[in-house]
Amino acid sequence: MARKIVITSGKGGVGKTTICANLGIRLASTGLRVVMMDLDIGLNNLDVVMGIENKVVYDIVDVIDGKCRAKQALIQDMRQPSLYTMPSAHIYTENKITGYGIKYVVDQLAQSFDYVLLDCPAGIDSGFHRAVFSASEAIVITTPHIASIRDADKVISILNSYQLNKISFIVNRIRGDLVLNGQMIDVKNIENLLKVQLVGVIPEDDEISTCSSLGGGVHSKTESYLAFKNLCDNLHNGTDNMFDYTLKYKGFLGSIKRNLRKRV
């Protein structure tokens, strides 16, 4: 039976879809069977990030309506054969999709996969509750900005009212240079504020946004590759290896990089 993990946040645009896609790719690269579902109905961001938009035959609404089986709608990833995406609805059919409908699809898929990753819409309205209803675990994404941390805290208190096995969080878009210069809150302080388990730290990296626009995951020679690899290990094996976002800005050369970055 799969681990059914909802990837959520309070604030929008903090990297849920990006992290869902890269986590799915990393987990599948180890041979695990992974299916991802975009529950931001009508916007299809995950389909775009995974580059599957033109391959969609059936979508989640067709599965809920009984026009096809869940497995028939899945699209296999070109790079990772054990990674699949359930296409989001082509058109905005918000009212047709209920929490029970999504749960029906998720529970069908959970029987044949190791992970079901649910990419949650932003906010805490019906779309959020619909997504969390099918999950057994939640990962909350926050950036190191106060509005995002505050909204993550609110979301965690709402998640606590669900019967989830585990709630953890990821800090995304952290900048080691700003943290060392005292201009950005560090991960330890965010951990103290949110009081749930930290499962990953992802740096701010242009490579990530480039890969999101071009479709697919980050390349193996980048620092964010290591960050996503650590995240995948922590989630799957229960390790506690966090990406060291300050490493490249430490020491003599590091301080030059830090000052250069300040000037650009």
Ligand X SMILES: Nc1ncnc2c1ncn2[C@@H]1O[C@H](COP(=O)(O)OP(=O)(O)OP(=O)(O)O)[C@@H](O)[C@H]1O
User: What b/e readout covers 58-92, taking b as 16+ CB neighbours within 10 angstroms?
Assistant: bbbbbbbeeeeebeebbbebeebebbbbbbbbbee
How many C-beta atoms lie closer than 10 Å to residue 44's C-beta?
Answer: 19
Contact between 200 and 170 (Cβ < 8 Å)? yes
Cα–Cα distance, 57 to 90 (Å, whole number): 10
Residue 261 Cβ vs Mg ion, minimum distance, rounded to whole Å? 28
* Given 22, 172, 230, 234, the residue binding ligand X (CB under 6 A): 172
Using CB under 6 A, which of the segments 6-14, 22-30, 85-93, 155-163 binds ligand X?
6-14
Residue 122 binds ligand X (CB under 6 A): yes
Cα–Cα distance, 25 to 218 (Å, whole number): 9
CB-nearer residue toward ligand X: 36 or 57? 36
Size of the site for Mg ion (CB under 5 A): 3
- For ligand X, what does the binding mask look like between residues 186 and 205, x meaning CB under 6 A? ----------------x-xx
How do 75-76 and 83-86 pair as beta strands? antiparallel
Residue 85 Cβ vs ligand X, minimum distance, rounded to whole Å? 15
End-to-end C-alpha distance for the chain, whole angstroms: 49
Of the candidates 112, 124, 114, the one whose C-alpha atom is nearest the C-alpha of residue 151 is 124
CB-nearer residue toward Mg ion: 115 or 249? 115
What residues numbered 31-70 form the site for Mg ion, per CB under 5 A?
45
* Given 1, 13, 100, 219, the residue binding ligand X (CB under 6 A): 13
In sequence order, the 6+-apart residues with CB closer than 8 A to the CB of 163 are: none
Q: Provide φ and ψ at 8, rounded to 5°.
A: -135, 180
Residue 17 binds Mg ion (CB under 5 A): yes
Using CB under 5 A, which of the segments 14-22, 160-168, 200-208, 222-230 binds Mg ion?
14-22
CB-nearer residue toward Mg ion: 119 or 205? 119
* Given 3, 8, 10, 16, the residue binding ligand X (CB under 6 A): 16
Interface ranges with ligand X (CB under 6 A):
9, 12-18, 40, 45, 122, 172-173, 202, 204-205, 208-209, 212
Interface ranges with Mg ion (CB under 5 A):
16-17, 45
